[in-house]
Amino acid sequence: MTLVGDHSTGVPMRAEVEARDAADPLAHLRDRFHVPEGLIYLAGNSLGPAPLAVFDDMETALRQEWADGLVGSWNEAGWFALADRLGDRIGALIGAEAGQTVACDTTSVNVYKALHAGLSLRPGRTTIVAESGSFPTDLYVAEGVVAGRPDVTLLLEGVDGATLEELIGERTAVVLVNHVDYRTGALRDMAALTRRVHEAGAVVVWDLCHSAGILPVALDASNADLAVGCTYKYLNCGPGSPAFIYAAHRHHETLRQPLSGWWGHAAPFAFELGYRPDAGARRLLCGTQPILSMRALNAGLAAIEDVDMAEIRAKSLALTDLFMDLVREPCAAHGAEIVTPQAAAERGSQVSITHPDGYAIIQALIARGIVGDFRAPNLMRFGMAPAYLSYHDIHVAATALVEVLESESWRDPRFAARRAVT
Amino acid sequence: MTLVGDHSTGVPMRAEVEARDAADPLAHLRDRFHVPEGLIYLAGNSLGPAPLAVFDDMETALRQEWADGLVGSWNEAGWFALADRLGDRIGALIGAEAGQTVACDTTSVNVYKALHAGLSLRPGRTTIVAESGSFPTDLYVAEGVVAGRPDVTLLLEGVDGATLEELIGERTAVVLVNHVDYRTGALRDMAALTRRVHEAGAVVVWDLCHSAGILPVALDASNADLAVGCTYKYLNCGPGSPAFIYAAHRHHETLRQPLSGWWGHAAPFAFELGYRPDAGARRLLCGTQPILSMRALNAGLAAIEDVDMAEIRAKSLALTDLFMDLVREPCAAHGAEIVTPQAAAERGSQVSITHPDGYAIIQALIARGIVGDFRAPNLMRFGMAPAYLSYHDIHVAATALVEVLESESWRDPRFAARRAVT
């Protein structure tokens, strides 16, 4: 196969790419994942692949813990403590000291808790500020929160003001913001924005769905207040795997959230009549967690937690740079535009490209074994996960994209039909 | 082994019990479950045993769907539709026509949605009525709801009035009630109470945690409004398996619930800016569901859904009668009291017995392979699941309880230590 770049100047050549793979300190991580033969998987920003260790873990969870251990496994297999133990391990990957993060529920439910917790920390303040370009569920949930709080208004960047900063003021209670934009891959400066929010006397809720596990996140060092995120993207913990929620130690005693179920009680098995929140991060829990899905988190976290996140970030930037370098000119020549910021400090780990026929182009790539994804109306997303992608993979994927664009093979009618869910 | 009853009069004899097993039309169901060798499992009212089909299902979910199918499985493996499809199957077991039940989240989170939905259906009304003897999480969540609704008060049976009926009046918006009491096993008359609630102009939320899958539930026929329940007890769907929530068709258009996440949106993949609830029961959904845990529901439901619920109920009553007949006199003679109602129409499928040393007695029984459970301060619970228990099992279990009581073998110090979680 002739790869793009081989006959050009200024873009990497096959030999250069192979040399990078040979020198890659993370190359061995690929053996920890199941990536189907013949597939180059660039949709890990949507659903990460299965870590190999998950098969044995689930066998243990099913046969030893549930089938044989039965109800005793709540103690003996440590099921009840999974929310904290896994939470602390997620915390270690996002710059949170132990005791501040719990694994539970869904990102949407955790956004709901976090927004209410934020409001409880800033009584008397009357606005929640968010991004109109947020992943929609954050906004839908924020709508649900303000619908129950007639004293609170939801203000949106891009609707009520051009920038978040313009909307943050003395009335702001909570700023809900995505660390990495799910569409463009743009990365916010967590420390700077958190400082800005605090200067206004508000608290911030960081949505880490597209940054947890793929770049260094420094919640504690940034003095963040609250955070939520999912574990099924770059943390590779399984489809719809339980999410997480973080609250800084300093807020634990004060914060309240209305999903006050028994798992958040200070003494859940005392069966007291009244709710009394746990002193720590467990007050962010609500009901009994889905243990089989929770048990899959171990393998996902174990697959990357012994790696320096700075190394993952370095390779992530190198992979995204390589891809952008290879496709930039052909994209421009064929009506496609890279919308991911070019500066390393301003982007996460995906390359997003718009094209009016993006849906068909993604289908044409999938037919060639290159799996990216599409978001309406015109966005193609290519997630770059250093744990299971090589420079060669990226070279092949970029070549395929260029060929699909140049040959217009996406015009084949079989690539036109839209599926219900993408 | 000499079994109780063999040398008495008025209680069943070994031969009679064996004859019942030989004639049991549900005896074959036991082959659908993994019950560890040597165990008589009477804690299915807490966590049901593993249906054998779950092992293959989970292998498929892990290897074919996640590992090989990757992100495409949201469509191709039908993951996105699981909430409705499994919900409809649960609905069929609780007397609900299709399109009214979704499988999702936890019972606690669903209680939160249901109470808010109930309030939205009765604007201007100012009380929620519940039972002080409710499983505590229902009350904790109700507290969370009223904390955010200064116009609404939570009234408790047993605290603010002796009976629910006394508390239901023209101010009542929602009555939250357990179909079967988790402590005593007492069963409410669903049709009668629903009628009473409707006469007062209120709506009712039924908590079916201890009745779904074990006795005929007639939500539609009772004209119920809302219901919630778990799937990990008598539905045998796995530890912490996703719960369910039901809303009667007639309420779909009107009801609102604040956990308005993207899965409840009318067009979740259109990524619209504003929340627009789905026209049907999906408006009760919130975020992305834990698929591995969801996938375990199929086997649990399949294991009983081809059986007439009336047959399950008949055997359940026979098993509980047998157990109570065998232990009643010895219990009375040794300071233990059966607190489960004797009348068939007034109880679910557990036998609950109080004893000051109930904890140690349960431990002594577990040491003999008889697994019941204990709830503070003095309650022993024995759940009777017809799908995997024989009359002989119950005879053996009753004999063991009688022997432990008569010999006071529970005084052995190794049975005294309390575990953190029971």
Whether residue A217 is found in the same domain as residue A83 = yes
A 10 A CB-CB count for A395 gives: 28
Q: Which residues of A335-363 are buried (b: 16+ CB within 10 A; e: fewer)?
A: ebebbbbeeeeebbbbbbbbbebbbbbbb
Is residue B422 pLDDT above 50, yes or no? no
Q: Mean pLDDT over residues A380-407, rounded?
A: 97
Residue A41 lies in a domain: no
| Half-sphere exposure (Cβ direction) of B233: Cα atoms closer than 13 Å | 25
Residue range(s) defining the domain that contains residue A323: 14-34+308-415
Which residues make Cβ contacts (< 8 Å) with residue B80, sequence separation at least 6? A420, A421, B74
Whether residue B385 is found in the same domain as residue B405 = yes
> End of a domain among B255, B270, B302?
B302
- Window A:57-86, CB contacts with B under 8 Å: 58, 62-63, 65-68, 70-75, 79-80
Residue B420 lies in a domain: no
Is residue A10 pLDDT above 80, yes or no? no
Residue A144 lies in a domain: yes
Whether residue B225 is found in the same domain as residue B329 = no
Here the CATH number for the domain that contains residue A390 is 3.90.1150.10
- Which range has the worst mean pLDDT, A142-146, A232-236, A277-281, B2-6? B2-6
Whether residue B63 is found in the same domain as residue B30 = no
Residue A199 lies in a domain: yes
CA distance linking residue B400 with residue B396, whole number of Å: 6
Is residue B421 pLDDT above 50, yes or no? no
Paired residues of B41 in beta bridges: B371
Q: Tell me the nearest-neighbour CA distance from A385 into chain B, angstroms.
A: 15
Instruction: Report the domain count for chain B.
Output: 2
Return the SS3 of B157.
strand
User: Residue B18: its pLDDT value, please?
Assistant: 93
Whether residue B266 is found in the same domain as residue B345 = no
Whether residue B255 is found in the same domain as residue B160 = yes
Please work out, in degrees rounded to the nearest 5, the angle formed at the alpha carbon of residue B168 by the alpha carbons of B167 and B174. Answer: 115
Which residues make Cβ contacts (< 8 Å) with residue B119, sequence separation at least 6? B125, B128, B145, B149, B152, B173, B174
> End of a domain among B252, B269, B302?
B302
Which residues make Cβ contacts (< 8 Å) with residue A63, sequence separation at least 6? B50, B55
Q: Mean pLDDT over residues A141-167, rounded?
A: 97
Whether residue B151 is found in the same domain as residue B245 = yes
Q: Strand pairing of B127-131 and B172-178? A: parallel
pLDDT tier for residue B3 given thresholds of 50, 70 and 90:
confident
CB A340 within 8 A of CB A328: no
Residue B43 lies in a domain: no
CB B177 within 8 A of CB B131: yes
Q: Tell which wins on pLDDT, B417 or B130.
A: B130
* Cross-chain Cβ contact B108/A292 below 8 Å: no
User: Residue B14: its pLDDT value, please?
Assistant: 86
DSSP letters spanning A168-180: -STTEEEEEEESB
Per-residue pLDDT tens digits for B336-389: 999 999 999 999 999 999 999 999 999 999 999 999 999 989 999 999 999 999
* Cross-chain Cβ contact A116/B148 below 8 Å: yes
Task: Return the active site residues of A.
Answer: 135, 207, 232-233, 381
Which of A284, A286, A295, A371 to substitute to test the interface with B, most B CBs within 10 Å?
A286
Paired residues of B131 in beta bridges: B157
- Which range has the worst mean pLDDT, A13-22, A353-362, B62-71? A13-22
Whether residue A23 is found in the same domain as residue A96 = no
Residue B48 to residues A155, A289, A343, Cα–Cα distance (Å): 47, 16, 54
User: Residue A229: its pLDDT value, please?
Assistant: 98
CB A254 within 8 A of CB B143: no
Whether residue B248 is found in the same domain as residue B326 = no
> What does residue B247 show for φ and ψ, rounded to 5 degrees?
-135, 135
Residue B5 lies in a domain: no
Here the CATH number for the domain that contains residue A162 is 3.40.640.10
Q: What percent of chain B has pLDDT over 90?
A: 94
Task: Using an 8 Å CB-CB cutoff, list chain A residues near B112.
Answer: 258-259, 261, 286
A233 reaches B (C-beta below 8 A) = no
CB A322 within 8 A of CB A24: no
Per-residue pLDDT tens digits for A287-309: 999 999 999 999 999 999 999 99
pLDDT tier for residue A7 given thresholds of 50, 70 and 90:
low
- For residue A285 the two structure tokens come to 């829990």
Whether residue A295 is found in the same domain as residue A373 = no
pLDDT tier for residue A376 given thresholds of 50, 70 and 90:
confident
Exposed (0-12), middle (13-18) or buried (19+): which is B157, by Cβ within 10 Å?
Answer: buried
CB B119 within 8 A of CB B152: yes
User: Residue B8: its pLDDT value, please?
Assistant: 56
DSSP letters spanning A92-133: HHTT--TTSEEE-S-HHHHHHHHHHHHHHHSTT--EEEEETT
Nearest Cβ partner for A290 among B149, B242, B375: B242
Task: Using an 8 Å CB-CB cutoff, list chain A residues near B139.
Answer: 273-275
Whether residue B90 is found in the same domain as residue B199 = yes
Per the prediction, chain B carries an average pLDDT of 96
Per-residue pLDDT tens digits for B240-290: 999 999 999 999 999 999 999 999 999 999 999 999 999 999 999 999 999
Q: Mean pLDDT over residues A387-414, rounded?
A: 96
Q: Do the annotations mark residue A106 as ligand-binding?
A: no
> What does residue B84 show for φ and ψ, rounded to 5 degrees?
-75, -45
Strands (E), A272-375: 337-338, 350-354, 370-371, 373-375
CA distance linking residue B252 with residue B283, whole number of Å: 8
Residue A1 lies in a domain: no
User: Residue B330: its pLDDT value, please?
Assistant: 96
User: Residue A352: its pLDDT value, please?
Assistant: 98
Whether residue A297 is found in the same domain as residue A352 = no
Residue A49 lies in a domain: no
> End of a domain among A267, A302, A337?
A302
Nearest Cβ partner for B144 among A68, A232, A259: A259
